[in-house]
A and B are shown apart, each in its own frame.
Chain A
């Protein structure tokens, strides 16, 4: 039977369902959930399903950090950025106190230093060229964008290079993580975190007003932000740490490279206990990979339930080149910067860790460079 025959759209009340890809997404998710449940790991199943929900929520709300940041930088529009802060505030309500009070839970922390600044800045350039960040690449690739499939491939490659560069970058110096709850206790830390989010929101609104731009988040961003925030809390409870995306990419890339004959036994990064364990164990033993797989298939299911899947033509070569370069920069930058918009910015700020705000401050100028470079690849600055 041909692909076309299998995927004949099923139209109900104006909605075209792509049965082939909807079935593919659901079967793939069911297989992964079954595998982890057979191992007696209900928390892993919850992480896959949490990722699945995030894929649906991001695609449904068209929640894009990359476009939001670009609109803020080019036009002063603040709605998207504020939607992102809604996610962080909701996540912080659970992460800051629970990480401080409960054993087996922890926040997203990271050292402050040149590695963080260089990584976040590079990531900012890459996300504008690729037109998607860590989560954006996942849900748009899952949602049927072949261009973002290319970005994801190069993101994976870049993150392996980043894993090899990180030890040298860390040798440039730095200081230990600064966590609000370490200084102010769980509730004082939460108050300080929420105050920092409110302060950032007021600065963002002030900039928008000064530039005569809109600052109210759209209904989609408010509802999407609340849904994504609640799912971030669910992922935190299931995994014990805030949601992170890019470590999974690094593990996938290193596992593929190992199969191809690359030896990581002399790479310092892969001798640290966490990465060493992740490389040796099943990919379904890594929390980041579990939510990533769920998110890819959740976005695929959502896209296939709404319209024929991946029917658009491949974009021009220049656009694909931008996706590849952007993916490489994001992958490398994410390793040096301790994550992406999700793991470093959302997870960091929602944990009350100063590195989250530092990451944001370093990634924004990177975005400005990336926006200036976009026309070279036939992409608009808006």
Chain B
């Protein structure tokens, strides 16, 4: 199990760093709730706005 963990951690870290380096990053970290019209933590719209 230890070897599995080492592989998973190294791959995950490489994926995180790789994604960060190749993806845009426009300022502070945000949650989907920060966007206009969001009605839930995942950014779903409000029923009344449909």
Q: Which residues of A contact B (CB under 8 A)?
A: 3, 7, 20-21, 24, 28, 31-32, 35-36, 39, 41, 43-44, 47, 106, 108-111, 113, 144, 146, 149, 163, 166, 170, 173-177, 239-241, 244, 247, 250, 255-256, 269, 272-275, 277-278, 280-288, 290, 293, 300, 309-314, 335, 338-339, 343-344, 347
Supposing A177-B46, A286-B31, A343-B41 touch, asked if A28 and B13 sit within 8 A by C-beta, the answer is: yes
In the bound complex, CA of A31 to CA of B35 (Å): 29
Question: Contact between A166 and B42 (Cβ–Cβ < 8 Å)?
Answer: yes
Of all chain B residues, the one with the shortest Cβ separation from A272 is B43
Does A275 lie within 8 Å of B32, measured CB to CB? yes
Residues of B within 8 A of A274 (CB): 30-35, 38, 42-43
- Using a CB–CB cutoff of 8 Å, the interface residues on chain B facing chain A are 1-6, 8-9, 13, 15-17, 19-20, 23-48, 50
CB distance from A48 to the nearest CB of B (A): 10
The reply to whether A272 and B30 contact each other, CB–CB distance below 8 Å, is no
B32: chain A residues at CB < 8 Å are 247, 272-275, 277-278
Residues of B within 8 A of A250 (CB): 42
- Cβ of A362 to closest chain B Cβ, rounded Å: 15
Contacts of A313 in B (CB 8 A): 1
Selected from B15, B30, B41, B46, the residue in CB contact (under 8 A) with A277 is: B30
Cβ–Cβ contact A280 & B24, under 8 A: yes
Nearest A-chain residue to B25, judged by Cβ: A282
What is the bound-complex CA distance between A314 and B1, given in angstroms?
7
